[in-house]
Amino acid sequence: YGCSALERINLNNVKNIGSQVFQNDSALSNVGNTTKLTSVGDKAFSGCSSLAAIDLSEATVLGTSAFENCSSLKSIGSLNTGITTLNNTFYGCALEMDDVSLPNLKTFNGTVFGGCKIKKISNLGSITTWSGAYLNTQTFGDPKYLEEVTLPDTITKTPLWGFSGCVALKYIHANKLTEIGNSSLNFCESLREIPCSEQITAFNTDAPNSPYIQLIHLPVCTTYFSFETTLATILILPAI
């Protein structure tokens, strides 16, 4: 902890790393072969700003803020499908990932991928909510990069600022959505369609102002709030 001169350490046979062990070791750039690593404690590498790569392919436990502000971290191998909890895990990292698939995920909180470049999220296990994507929250990474996301059937409502600012987001795949939460689709200017529009009962967001959506048809919607749209977008609600 706080060993600012430590540059290298060999973790070849290490399976578990406790909380805060390497926190703020800002010069640490090489940790060896970590393919046996299964558990990383809270803030274990937080602030290791020189660390560019670590293999986490066997790690099923990643503690809160485990790699927070590892600003040089670009490569982690593949995320293990056994992971159940992510909380602020990679906030402030430089990860570039084409797809995130975590079929056993149950908890997904805070700025999990804040600042990272995530193009697609194909499986979020059985989470029931997440922290909104807007501004500093960036649960899904830098909102300029996310293009596609699949929500599990356990998600019935998008939270406040859910996808707000995700200007590259084209597709939201979902089966059970019934409510679009406050400001959830603001500035989603690349969105191709409103997810689950036939079953949405509450639409509490401004229109995404996407040129691909000229008509928003919500046949069973009974609640909408502060709706603003461009003249090119038409909102159709059921007759009262």
Q: What is the pLDDT of residues 11-53, one digit of tens each?
A: 999 999 999 999 999 999 999 999 999 999 999 999 999 999 9
- CA gyration radius, the chain: 20
Instruction: Give the pLDDT score at 226.
Output: 56
User: What is the pLDDT of the chain when averaged over all its residues?
Assistant: 89
Predicted local confidence at residue 174, as pLDDT: 95
Give the confidence band of 119 by pLDDT, cuts at 50, 70, 90: very high
Question: C-alpha distances in angstroms, 87 versus 3, 96, 113, 139, 232?
Answer: 25, 18, 9, 9, 40
Q: What residue type is assigned to position 55 of the chain? A: D
Question: Hey, is 107 helix, strand or coil?
Answer: strand
Average pLDDT over residues 89-94: 94
C-alpha 10/C-alpha 212 separation (Å) is 52
What is the per-residue pLDDT for 134? 47
Integer Cα distance of 35 and 216 in angstroms: 49
Q: Are 224 and 197 in contact (CB under 8 A)?
A: no
- Count of other CB atoms within 10 angstroms of residue 25: 23
Question: How many angstroms separate the CA atoms of 202 and 119, rounded?
Answer: 28
Interval 94-106: pLDDT, tens: 999 999 999 999 9
**Residue 184's pLDDT is what?**
86
Beta bridge partners of 98: none
With 80 as the cut, is the pLDDT of residue 198 above it? yes
Task: Quickly count: other Cβ atoms within 10 Å of residue 175's Cβ.
Answer: 13
Task: Decide: 108 and 80 in contact? Cβ < 8 Å.
Answer: no
Q: How confident is the model at residue 227 (pLDDT cuts 50, 70, 90)?
A: low
**Range in 36-45, 70-79, 144-153, 230-239 with the lowest mean pLDDT:** 230-239
Q: What is the pLDDT of residue 136?
A: 43
DSSP classification of residue 101: E
In this structure, of 60-64, 117-121, 156-160, 175-179, the range with the lowest mean pLDDT score is 156-160
Average pLDDT value for residue range 80-108: 95
Side-chain half-sphere of 134: how many Cα atoms within 13 Å? 16
- Which residues have CB under 8 Å from 227's CB, separation 6+? 203, 205, 206, 207, 235
Number of H helices, E strands in the chain: 0, 16
Say how many Å lie between the first and final Cα of the chain, rounded.
Answer: 63
Closest CA to 57 of 70, 76, 75: 76
- CB-count exposure of residue 225 (10 Å: 0-12, 13-18, 19+): exposed
What predicted TM-score, i.e. pTM, was given to this entire model? 0.89
Task: For the chain, give the percent of residues with pLDDT over 90.
Answer: 65
pLDDT of res. 137: 52
> How much is the pLDDT for 23?
97
Average pLDDT over residues 190-207: 89
217: pLDDT strictly greater than 90: no
